Amino acid sequence: MMHIGYTMMTEQAGPRELVGHLVEAERAGFDFSVISDHSFPWLASQGHAPYAWSVLGAAAQATSEIPLMSFVTCPTFRYHPAVIAQKAATVQLLSEGRFRLGLGSGENLNEHVVGAGWPSARVRLAMLDEAAEIIRALFAGGYVTRHGRYFQVDDARLWDLPDTPPPLGIAVSGPRSCALAGRHGDLLIATEPKRELLDAFDAQGGAGKPRVGQLPLCYDTDHEAAVSRAHEQFRWALGGWRLNAEIPLPAGFEQASEHTRPEDVAKSIPCGDDVGAVLDAVRPFAEAGFTDLALVQIGGDHQQPFLRWAETTLLPALRDL
């Protein structure tokens, strides 16, 4: 059975609201949770971008059972990998072993703020490769010194280290990132139900490991209101990750999606309260071989009705699927 998760989408709610939503998601019976890690929302209409790691610390204390996961953190620009290792180890301790560290090569939208430039995708993956090695070394304990091509580490050590380090997830989009995930990852992360990504991960050492996907939806008893909200806040997603990784500001996403129509969004994102439409969108992930799927309810002010619907209607139907 595929595990169904809940997404704390930091781009659409403030920190206290995110924690409150997660408490309700745990009560509703979601199997796990993930959190985005941004310094900007994709669109100004989303309106938020709190610090994900503070939210994770609060979430670890406010909940008792639901697993947590960063989805995903870039350990190469805003954060040094040694700092990521310390943060992840601390959240693992606070959550008593419920945390998974999801890593990715980043998006210009979030990483441009430190003024380090934005290299090619090939370079970003090489940086992620080196960062993952550093994080793994620190999780193993003891002092770590590295003088790599992209990062310097001088006598770093994690003084508060959990008995079981957080499992490491790597976000993938093509063959090179799948090879990286096979080398370093305890699990794979992808946002599209492409079987070829999972096959490439398996071929590089990922066979038998979890693979985590994500699916946006927009629940509302008013179908047209759901379509309108999904268009207002999530039309950026139709641009594809290759484009989305390059755009530096919300204004760029506004411009890139200005010709995206509500009906275009409705074809890609389940909108309304039709359980069958959600099942149809989930099925390709299940058939591709994903073990975990995190749902995103679009609209920070519309989480409570979604969570009630999920508890009574959606989650039972998904588990039957």
* Catalytic machinery residues: 38, 107
Cβ partners under 8 Å of residue 87, min gap 6: 53, 79
Encode 33-45: b = buried (16+ Cβ within 10 Å), e = exposed. bbbbbbbbbbbeb
The counts of H helices and E strands in the chain are 14, 11
**Is 207 within 8 Å of 182 (Cβ atoms)?**
no
Q: At what angle do helices 52-62 and 15-28 cross, to 10 degrees?
A: 40
Q: How many whole angstroms separate alpha carbon 246 and alpha carbon 244?
A: 5
d(CA 98, CA 232): 34
